[in-house]
Structure 1
């Protein structure tokens, strides 16, 4: 009993950063299990081709949310995390101004996609069946944008449990429930994307209850909001494009079956991101808070602790993904194994490099260097697009994986060098410290 009480005492004495990261990690693990259950369900019930359409549509949905949210969700995270702007309640009207801006932008996105759905499906992706997918997205995109806005507000408040539930767990839990409901009701394969969209729509309705109702008298100028959000928009959008250019270019250059196989392998590899995402969820608002207090030295300590935590747990995950790749891909179906295993190896190695580089993007975004991150991501995105074009033509889906690896390494190297030169903060994992200690 003494040992047991000592264990609980040690757990209670853990730093809040570790405790919060652990909680987010557990929610992330559960959420990823649900997301893989959804992928397995779609690929086994409808096949690789249908999963390819679903993957392409979800990627388009995510890109539109990034672009038409104008970087405001990322800005809201930074503003809310700063005690000068939010402490139990907003000290200015930045939230209401952000919401009004997003409503206008999201409405424009919805109308544009609704009228362009046939052109996108037929002329760009050569698949008329995508018309219904894009139609559904146009009807729900407003809710998707507000989901991003409201969850980043929760993250800025450091309400990590609610954030983890609404971002990692509940969307996929509802997705599985809706897919089962639509399947038993006789819906065809496009019921998969409708299930995905309805899950987010329902969550936005619930999230509105957590949105502050009190009105602050102090004005937060639109100019100040956009000066923060627009650079974050470009850096986030180009980072997304750099990471997902392969899906869009594969969608236009190869069969939807190959798109499905590639995306299944890519999604499997992103298990390696589980620790990175958990740590970054907690670390980003902490960096913003410390930067507001001008405690750069403390930022360096927090970042190195985070990097160490990321690397220690990510290396074994990548090892499992590579050595058990055939068995893991077999869950999606036999057609995924032969073509998908090389993709899984290459993408996993790229994500391992991401882990070794540390939370470098969070440091740039939270220390007023979002413009530099934007520039680095533009360089990476252009390089990724060029590499994808030539490598996909020659090597198919493995070419897309190599392009993703190379552009990811370029982006991380540029960011690591800049952060070290600016703050003397080395975000990469320092293996030599193992021997130095």
Structure 2
């Protein structure tokens, strides 16, 4: 066991993952500090509204980025597409044009439909100014998402971690602090403005990581080929997102905003465990893409099984601590948030299974099996929606947590079985 741990610690995957992990932990600390700030200043209902809009923004960002952030990681990691900081064909400039236009269209649609979404979907007119503010900044969110994934594809993990995890919340505190200092009667709408404004700044910074003078090349990569790769990834990611956040959306439509806030806080605490998974996956995805382009399946098996062990060894202690000290963690948001303790336990158990299953989604996406992942996620989402509808009515936020657990287990099992059949190895944790 000790020898295995030493071998893992010496690997490039582990060393790069540590960099991303440190930045991810710092970013999470800032994110949780922002949740505590919002909850203490404005209460559970306002935080519930903010959480609901944040989830909506993340989903719309996923849709209007067209799956290109996921595709750009794979293509940029492939030496046939990107080498010596130079695109080998027009894939990068075409993708950049597409996400920019899509981001503008998305912002316009959000502005036009802001009242419909607020009043008829979430039954809360107070969400209208939130949505209108989102529409003004939406194109910058799309560009930021695309560019940080391009940076990940270049394997610049420190810059990736700073731009994705740390700086958005660091700038949020600066902007909100200035607003609050100038006007102590700051309204809740200013929270969302303070959250969105940093993405304008970060999108501009991220542009400088592009090889701007080398974007135009004589060799073309048509849009059909680009979207043939990105759209299946988009559908897979969208369905995974829906599966993960169906509970929040359906709670938003079926229970009070205070309960949404309590559930979201419980989910945020439980997902501290995801810090390990996300850090490893950030490093593993481009590595799998590179190995696959070299037809090195044994290398993929070796890296995946090594990554699964790292994820499991580091995630289990975190999940155990979260469950033991759940009340203490939740009370940081306020006394009323402790009501979410049992939901937290159920969510944490689901994340434990997710950790031990390995990076199954990354494997399928980076090895041209995005269509299979799409099918599996559709099954998971359908199960999740049905269970949420049945269980939320009877058990509230506990029912939402159970639905999330069951659908998550189903998705991971389907992926594990397919990977074994296709590549003849198990991605899940094995001693």
- TM-score by length of structure 2 reads 0.96
Q: 1:285-307 deviations in whole A, cap 9, x for unaligned?
A: 00000011111011111000000
- Which residue, out of 143, 146, 159, partners 1:146? 143
Identify the match of residue 15 of structure 2 among 6, 12, 19.
19
1:51-66 counterparts in 2 under 5 A?
51-66=47-62
- For residues 15 and 289 of structure 1, the distance between their equivalents in structure 2, rounded to whole angstroms, comes to 16
Q: Is it true that 1:99 corresponds to 2:96 in the alignment?
A: yes
Deviations 1:40-94 (A, max 9, x none): 1001111000000110111011001110111011001100000111012111111
Does the CA-based 8 Å contact 1:154-1:163 persist in structure 2? yes
Task: Report what 1:305 is aligned to.
Answer: 306
Residues 223-281 of structure 1: per-residue CA shift (max 9 Å, x gap) = 11011001001000010000001111111111111111100110111111111011100
Matches within 5 A, 1:161-200: 161-186=158-183, 187-200=186-199
Q: Work out whether 1:351 is the aligned partner of 2:351.
A: yes
How far 1:341 sits from its partner (Å)? 0.3
What displacement does 1:184 show? Answer: 2.6
Distance 1:22 1:103 in 2: 32
Give the deviation of 1:15 after TM superposition. 2.5
- Which of 129, 133, 136 does residue 132 from structure 1 map onto? 129
**What's the offset of the Cα at 1:107?**
1.6
Q: Tell me, yes or no, if the aligned pair for 1:183 and 1:191 is still in contact at 8 Å.
A: no
Does residue 1:316 correspond to 2:313, yes or no? no
Q: How far apart, in 2, do the equivalents of 1:346 and 1:179 lie? A: 34
1:3-50 Cα deviation digits (max 9, x unpaired): xxxxxxx99x93221110111111111111110100110011110000
Structure 2: runs of 5 or more not aligned: 1-5
Query: How far off is 1:211 after superposition?
Result: 1.5
CA distance in 1, matches of 2:198, 2:354: 30
**Shift in Å at residue 145 of structure 1?**
0.6
Residue 378 of structure 1 deviates from its aligned partner by 0.8
Cα drift, residue 369 of structure 1: 0.1
Equivalence for 1:248: 249
| Alignment correspondent of 1:40 | 36
Other-structure match for 2:3: none
Runs (5+) with no aligned partner, structure 1? 1-9
Deviation of 1:182 after TM superposition, in Å, equals 2.0
Do the aligned residues in 2 keep the contact of 1:103 with 1:142 (CA within 8 Å)? yes
Partner of 1:381 in structure 2?
A: 381
* Distance of 2:259 and 2:11 partners within structure 1: 45
Count of aligned positions: 420
**TM-score, normalization by structure 1:** 0.94
Provide the rounded CA distance (Å) in 2 between the counterparts of 1:253 and 1:273.
27
After TM superposition, which residue ranges in structure 1, 4 or more long, deviate above 3 angstroms?
Answer: none
Q: Which residue of 1 aligns with 2:406?
A: 406
**DSSP 3-state at the match of 2:168:** helix
Cα distance in structure 1, aligned partners of 2:383 and 2:190: 36
2:74 equivalent among 78, 81, 85: 78
Superposed CA RMSD in Å reads 1.2
The offset of 1:185, in angstroms, is 3.1
> Within 1, Cα distance between the matches of 2:192 and 2:107?
16
Residue 381 of structure 1: how far off its partner (Å): 0.8
Partner SS for 2:341:
helix
Map Cα deviations across residues 175-195 of structure 1 (whole Å, 9 max, x no partner): 122222222333301111111
CA distance in 2, matches of 1:286, 1:53: 39
Query: What is the distance in 1 between the residues matched to 2:164 and 2:100?
Result: 21
Counterpart position of 1:416: 416
